[in-house]
Amino acid sequence: MGRNILFITTDQMRFDAIGVNGQKIARTPAIDALARSGINYTRCHSQHVICMPARATMITGQYVSTHGVWTNGVPLPQDAPSVAQWLHDKKGYRTALIGKAHFEPFLDMKFQFYENRMASLNEYGPYRGFDHMELSAHGAVGPLHYARWLAAKHPEVIANFYPVLNPAMVQNSFGEGDTGAVQVKRNATPRALYHTDWVADRTIAYLNSLGDDVDWFVWMSFPDPHHPWDPPEEEMGRHNWKDLPIPAGYPGSLENIDEILSAKPHHWREWWTGERVTCFEAPPDFVPRDLTRDQLREIDARIHVKNELIDEAIARVMNTLGERGWDARTDVIFTTDHGEFQGDFGLLFKGPHHVTSLMQLPMIWRPAPRAGVAPASVSAPVGQVDLASTFCDIAGVAPAPWMEGRPLPRNAEEGAGRSSVFTEWDSQFGDLSISLRTLYRDGWIITRYDASSIYDGTEGELYDLKNDPQQWRNLWDEPAAAAIKADLLDDLRTRTPPQRAPRVAPYSSV
């Protein structure tokens, strides 16, 4: 028998959301235990800071420019490679994905994509290399397995959730709660019916359907802590938002925010003031400048609750591994697709902004105990593009020729040859376009703005994380930083992957 692989992902989780990475409010003992007995990567960056491109990188092991999912709404091509298929074909792994996939657009009114047809057909795959799929998104309405299970078994709770897939409601902020904060809703759904526990329940059921001597690769994909912020209200007693501090990355006043954002490329401040919508991951009527400190604290409390529920769900699945006698031969990898502003710069959500709030990810690899890998903390830069090759390394199979990453280093010595990690962004909404290319190297972040509808290609951002960890001071135009800027730009040009041609077109549901 080989080594099993449990791949755990969350959605829109900050690096500092867990205890081992500095979290002081949310309690995450199960995730922290994985880090203490495994390898904690302290400089992992997403290759794209929104869902579909990042998830496509995870399954393909390719950069965004290669696999072609350059923004949300662009479906992963049907002929795209899959590490799950590779493990299945080369080593006979049983493969499953439980929870959020999002390789194809959710807003698919024509049901063009099999992800969105699967549950209505009472099917569970196989698809994209997974023998079995049971899918969930962020709410109770929609075509996926979780929503249809609620509709069939517990229709009384459907209206409790924020109507995330209702186009009429997504167009506005729809704030409830104590402060009227954006996308907050009191959710009377019992915890046992909420999608976090459902994902864990279905993962446990799938694992218990397998024989003891089967090698398996299971992707357990939680939709939380992504907005909307509507965890079960019965769990909100864990954290009283009135007792929480203001998020550490909040600059302290509107005047400070204005000064900080005014020194960045102009779309930062324009979105904050509501002059121009460039963040299409947020409701279009949302104006960040209107956020109050209390609203940020209430959202913070709800995110902490979501993260604690995820941790407790992971603990239940880890207990199942122990009960089945699988723990000693199971590798566990935990990460997320991208981050969340969560008050940094006075902002929420995510978008065309390459700062650590959105790029830096929790990444933990707990090797199978029988592998004899010593616990470590690794600061070498790594990325999601490395996951597919790492799965192959665990399975004892050569990486596929189409994989562009390398196996994650198991210690500081193995990480010594890694100097940088790359992130990219392209968006096009009507006549508005933005294009960013970013490199992290040696404690610096540099972002080149390519020519677009609002930039001429001379703009950019440069941050010295050692002296400015919050990235409040843009050094792009400072003469004292000219030499390091030139060096980093040369390195960025060298490391920018070629763009797939022709570009894959976004899907239109109308």
pLDDT digits (tens, 9 = 90+) for 383-395: 999 999 999 999 9
Per-residue pLDDT averaged across 164-168, rounded? 60
For residue 129, CA distances in Å to 85, 102, 498 come to: 4, 15, 26
**Does residue 260 contact residue 472 with C-beta atoms inside 8 Å?**
yes
- For the sheet containing 420-429, what is the strand order? 420-429, 432-441, 444-449, 460-464
Answer yes or no: are the C-beta atoms of 43 and 359 closer than 8 Å: no
Q: Is residue 151 part of a domain?
A: yes
* pLDDT over 90 percentage in the chain: 91
Give the integer Cα–Cα distance in Å for 225 and 329: 29
* Residue 472 neighbours by CB under 8 Å, 6+ apart: 251, 260, 345
Angstrom distance (rounded) from CA 346 to CA 357 = 12
- Helices 387-395 + 51-60 axis angle, to 10: 30
The stretch 83-91 carries a mean pLDDT of 98
Q: What is the pLDDT of residue 387?
A: 98
Residue 28, in any domain of the structure: yes
CATH code for the domain of 171: 3.40.720.10
The shares of helix, strand and coil residues in the chain, as percent rounded to the nearest 5, are: 35, 20, 45
Q: Is residue 353 part of a domain?
A: yes
Residue 441 has pLDDT above 80, yes or no: yes
Residue among 98, 39, 55 at smallest CA distance from 407: 39
> What is the predicted pLDDT for the residue at 172?
56
Amino acid present at 158: I
User: Which of 198, 194, 183, 175 lies closest to 306 in space, CA to CA?
Assistant: 194
Mean of the per-residue pLDDT values for the chain?
95
At residue 510, does pLDDT exceed 50?
no
Q: Could you say which DSSP state residue 369 is in?
A: G
- Residue 451 counted as domain residue: yes
- Collapsing DSSP to helix, strand or coil, 21 comes out as helix
Task: Classify 454 in phi/psi space as left (phi over 0), alpha (psi -120 to 50) or beta.
Answer: alpha
pLDDT of residue 508: 64
Query: CB of 285 within 8 A of CB of 232?
Result: no
Q: Are 462 and 485 in contact (CB under 8 A)?
A: yes
The pair of structure tokens assigned to 169 is 């409601």
Q: Buried b / exposed e across 151-169, counting CB within 10 Å, b at 16+?
A: eeeeeebeebbbbbbeeeb
Spatial separation of the C-alpha atoms in residues 20 and 301, rounded to whole Å? 19
Q: Is residue 310 part of a domain?
A: yes
Between 159-163, 190-194, 382-386, the lowest mean confidence (pLDDT) is in 159-163
Structural domain containing residue 294: 4-414+424-495
User: Is 386 among the domain residues?
Assistant: yes
Does residue 194 belong to any structural domain of this protein?
Answer: yes
Q: How many domains does the chain have?
A: 1
Q: Look at residue 433 and tell me whether its pLDDT is greater than 50.
A: yes
> In the prediction, which pLDDT does 173 show?
62
Q: Can you give the pLDDT at residue 166?
A: 57
Beta strands in 227-371 (DSSP E): 330-336, 360-366
Rg (CA), the chain: 22
Higher pLDDT, 23 or 142: 23
Q: Which one-letter amino acid corresponds to residue 412? A: A
Look at 170 and 315; give whichever has higher pLDDT: 315
Residue 363 has pLDDT above 90, yes or no: yes
Decide: 496 and 437 in contact? Cβ < 8 Å.
yes
C-beta of residue 110 within 8 angstroms of C-beta of residue 127 = no
Average pLDDT over residues 409-429: 96
Is 65:393 a contact under the CB 8 Å cutoff?
A: no
Compute the distance between CA of residue 464 and CA of residue 149 in angstroms, rounded to an integer: 49
Q: Kindly report the CA angle at 346 between 344 and 348, in degrees rounded to 5?
A: 75
Answer yes or no: is 257 within a domain.
yes
CA separation for the pair 242, 219 (Å, rounded)? 36
User: For residue 110, how many other CB atoms are within 10 A of its CB?
Assistant: 10
